[in-house]
Chain A
């Protein structure tokens, strides 16, 4: 009896603690959503309006009328982030597998060289890259936003992540497959990649988000407004007269919601998926 009561008490405590953390974490989202529906003059009302009144659904339409290219910028961000994610996963799978399982010459040297590339802050390589790409006539295209991230610091992170995963897989797996007549290529595609799917999920979230919220590179590399990405579009809600908070928050909600929905739908598969194979 007392044992059961103890158990109930501990579950309740756990529930309360979790609810507290969740509440703190969700507060900004509450502010974001309510602000996106507030009248411009009520955004900083004191004391704060808990519920927007009047509810201005029109703010969402206004995002598109103030920035007629908002949808285009949205699409640019989406397709760039998707390509970067796909490319990173592919390149990182190849290199990560090689660094973990193929004993080729100078393997560790190359790995260390790669890793060190991850440790330079991109803020300082952006200007040299820009000067470089402008010689190649690749500025004001999406190329510098897609290819260098795949093969730069983001890709290296992917290689690191996948190497750490593949290295934990037993070597007999490769050997058995090799005896069965599989080539290295087939081993990678048919055995390793499916096993690593949860790692790819983690890597995808990281990569997609890094590309999705990157501001400095698009700012420096892109000049034509039809090639802008979302973070630049959002920055345009601030001008010298101040920030249009209600519109910025409406745009933010639209930028965040799809990612949240995808995660919510995938979360069970995502976490359980990681659990069955183990990301170590």
Chain B
């Protein structure tokens, strides 16, 4: 009897706390409305989240300082979140209505937040004459557009490219990817030929590496999309409802990759961590953001070139990051104004020291062209590619699809199944998640 009383008592206690929690929610909402009501000349503090490092933060701090000259009542506080945990952290913050006002947003997170109605409509920027909206590359805007409205402004849209070890090419007397490209002969066949000439797998020297550092677990989407496109295949149908890789072209693409790893051994094996800086990789698929690391290389000469072309073209993939504003933020108007400031021509020129800009005028500026090993290299490998590049397909339930694809691709990496079996098995696994 007594036991039961004790237990009931503890239940009541917990129930009481749960009730307290529920009432707390209401008061929280009320107080937010209160904040909403006052605006005007009062001090306003905006929160701005990034996944970058301290150099990025310093760059923004300078911009903010300048912004405050014209907007003395606005203060912007930068919030740094580790890149790998960015989406989780923001989701939890949104659930508790404590999300920052302005956010960097990565491509795979956009559909999730856009679909849940968490991003504010920025369409007012389209009609703002001083903003020059038309200067933004149209190909970079699709992901953040929905029903003719725009929900964010991209600030980093890097096409993928090849970093190649020029010293290795010279020592073997090979034509470099850049030379082949200018002759119009830069194809997958030529790439394989060069890779075979360079590779000495028993000494850990490889001709080509499509996988980015530590990128084996995200390889299907991060590293192999371009290959799949270049072979004229795709992962999913255009409406995203069907698995499309189980086709002759898809099989060729995967077979090519499998052979490169296990048969001709021109490509590092799964789980390998050899990096381009070591000089043991002839050609490395990478993004513009790798430039900083590459510039630290002193042991050999290197340069950049566009992706080679296959039956389906080059399949250039655009990386993607944009600024978005939180829907329901108490300072939404001020936040939009600040995004407008961040993405104007002057500031995008500042950010272009790290990010491939989405504004045509900035992209073509000397300041940007001088970022790379040489202006012509940047012109061919970045400028000429950005218009051709495609952003990867977006899904609201990307993480579920990602998990299935990752598990599936591992069966190629562990050589447990043949390529046709892998494709039919993956089709069976992935199709249900595409039609939730």
Direct contact of A and B (CB under 8 A): yes
**Residues on A with beta carbons closer than 8 Å to the beta carbon of B80:** 225, 236
Cα–Cα, bound, A170→B99 (Å): 56
Name A66's closest neighbour in chain B (CB-CB). Answer: B54
A-chain residues with CB within 8 Å of residue B214 when the two chains form the complex: 242-243
**Pair A40/B85 contact, Cβ less than 8 Å:** no
A79→B436 CA distance, assembly (Å): 47
Q: Which of A68, A130, A236, A240 sits near B92, CB closer than 8 Å?
A: A130
For window 189-241 of chain B, which residues contact chain A by CB distance below 8 Å? 204, 212-214
Q: In the complex the two chains form, what is the Cα distance from A136 to B21 in whole Å?
A: 8
Bound-state CA distance A67–B3 (Å) is: 55
B298 partner, pick from A41, A106, A241, beta carbons under 8 A: A41
Cβ-defined contact, A46 with B287, below 8 A: no
Q: Are the CB atoms of A46 and B25 closer together than 8 Å?
A: no
Q: What is the bound-complex CA distance between A45 and B278, given in angstroms?
A: 5
Give the complex CA separation of A106 and B54 in angstroms: 55
Q: Which residues of B contact A113 (CB under 8 A)?
A: 10
Q: Does B82 contact A (CB under 8 A)?
A: yes
Q: Is the CB of B96 within 8 A of A219?
A: no
Task: Verify if A238 is at the interface (C-beta below 8 Å from B).
Answer: yes
User: Are A40's CB and B293's CB within 8 A?
Assistant: yes
Is A219 a contact of B289 with CB atoms below 8 Å?
Answer: no
Q: Is the CB of B51 within 8 A of A66?
A: no
Minimum Cβ distance to chain A for residue B223 (Å): 13
Contact at B53–A232, with CB atoms within 8 Å? no
Contact A239 B277 (CB under 8 A): no
For residue A57, give the distance in angstroms from its CB to the closest CB of chain B. Answer: 17
Chain A contacts for B10, CB-based, 8 A: 113
- Residue of B with least CB distance to A234: B82
Cβ–Cβ contact A235 & B274, under 8 A: no
- B-side contacts of A45, CB under 8 Å: 278
| A130 partner residues in chain B, CB cutoff 8 A | 92, 96
Bound complex: CA of A40 vs CA of B297, how far in Å? Answer: 9
Chain B residues with CB under 8 A of A131: 21, 95-96
Bound Cα distance A44, B78 (Å) = 33
Q: Are A219 and B85 in contact (CB under 8 A)?
A: yes
Please tell me if A135 contacts chain B, counting CB pairs below 8 Å.
yes
Contact pattern, A 233-267, Cβ under 8 Å of B = 1, otherwise 0: 00110111111000000000000000000000000
Q: Is A224 on the interface with B (CB-CB < 8 A)? A: yes
List the A side residues contacting B3 at CB < 8 Å. 106, 109
Give chain A residues whose Cβ lies under 8 Å from the Cβ of B79: 223-225
Q: Which of A130, A232, A239 is most buried by chain B, counting CB atoms within 10 A of its CB? A: A239
Q: Which residue of A67, A132, A240 contacts B51 across the interface (Cβ within 8 Å)?
A: A240
A-chain residues with CB within 8 Å of residue B83 when the two chains form the complex: 238-240
CB distance from A217 to the nearest CB of B (A): 12
Q: Is the CB of B98 within 8 A of A139?
A: yes
Q: Is B84 an interface residue (CB 8 A)?
A: yes
Question: Knowing that A223-B98, A232-B82, A240-B106 are A-B contacts, what are 4 other residue pairs whose CB atoms are under 8 Å apart, sorted by A's residue number?
Answer: A109-B6, A224-B79, A235-B82, A239-B51
B residues in contact (CB < 8 Å) with A: 2-3, 6, 10, 21, 24-25, 28, 47, 51-55, 77-80, 82-85, 88-89, 92-93, 95-96, 98, 100, 106, 204, 212-214, 273-275, 277-278, 280, 287, 289-290, 292-293, 296-299
A-to-B contact residues, CB < 8 Å: 40-47, 66-68, 105-106, 109, 113, 127, 130-132, 134-136, 139, 219-220, 223-225, 232, 235-236, 238-243
List 15 A–B pairs whose Cβ atoms lie within 8 Å, in order of A's numbering: A44-B273, A67-B53, A67-B54, A127-B92, A131-B95, A131-B96, A135-B21, A139-B96, A219-B88, A224-B77, A225-B80, A235-B85, A238-B82, A242-B212, A242-B293
For the complex of A and B, list the 5 residue pairs with the smallest distance between their C-beta atoms, beginning with the closest.
A135-B24, A235-B82, A134-B96, A41-B277, A241-B289
